[in-house]
Amino acid sequence: MSFGEPTNPYGQQPGQNPPGQPGQPGYGYPQQPPQGVPPQGGPQGGPQGYGYPQQPGQPYGVPPQQPYGYAPGPGYGPGSGGPELANWGWRFLATLVDGLVLLVPYIVVIVGAGLSSGDSSALGGILSVVGALGIIGVIIWMLVQEGSTGATIGKRAVGIKVLREADGRPLGFGMALVRRIAHALDSFACYLGWLWPLWDSKKQTFADKVCSTVVIKAK
């Protein structure tokens, strides 16, 4: 032993940890991150969930979850493992319920038109305007509901919803309007497009195929 060199009372060299002592920085053990700071790394060699982008309020290490009713991507039809597609019968019932809702203001228009030809022409004119505005209002309200939640009154009543095929998200008002207009294609060739879901693997009408939408059973 030479003079001027510090002595180690435990007999260990710097960089070694005494037996039975917990690892400390600088003694050969990997330094642990401070409490509350997530470890670095990815899925390889680390606990499940490493490398996933965290969202506010989400526990660390838990993969982000898709919102209710959303699909992670394409995966519809037999054997795909995706959500259950709505059959033709459920779709028909939903359309029937929506038609009954629209029937109420339509009847008001008819009554108003009948009164307009008689002595109560003023009342008939008022009823016709109110009924027409009611029809427009109901249609717009249904498009808003279908675009934001995937379901109109009829679809919600029977438990189905229409979503984008690509990512399983609601259509939005604009695409819901385009899809409603595209239903004109289903009426061509003796309404063949309306019957197409009976044998189609994805149970889509022509409008669904053009707009890339699917109708599924809601959970």
How many Cα atoms within 13 Å fall on the side-chain side of residue 28? Answer: 10
Q: Which residue has the higher pLDDT, 212 or 113?
A: 212
Q: Which residue has the higher pLDDT, 196 or 10?
A: 196
Residue 8 has a pLDDT of 55
**174 in a structural domain:** yes
Give the structural domain span for 96. 88-217
Check whether 216 has a pLDDT greater than 80.
yes
195: left (phi over 0), alpha (psi -120 to 50) or beta: alpha
**31 in a structural domain:** no
**68 in a structural domain:** no
- Determine the average pLDDT of the residues in 179-203: 93
**70 in a structural domain:** no
Per-residue confidence band for 122, with pLDDT thresholds at 50, 70 and 90: confident
- Counted residue by residue, the chain has a size of 219
- Determine the average pLDDT of the residues in 57-65: 53
**116 in a structural domain:** yes
**83 in a structural domain:** no
Percent of the chain predicted with pLDDT > 70: 61
Q: How far apart are CA 112 and CA 148, in angstroms?
A: 34
Check whether 91 has a pLDDT greater than 60.
yes
**151 in a structural domain:** yes
Angle between helices 121-149 and 88-116 (to 10 degrees): 160
Q: How far apart are CA 147 and CA 164, in angstroms?
A: 10
What is the domain count for the chain?
1
Residue 120 has a pLDDT of 63
**47 in a structural domain:** no
Per-residue confidence band for 6, with pLDDT thresholds at 50, 70 and 90: low
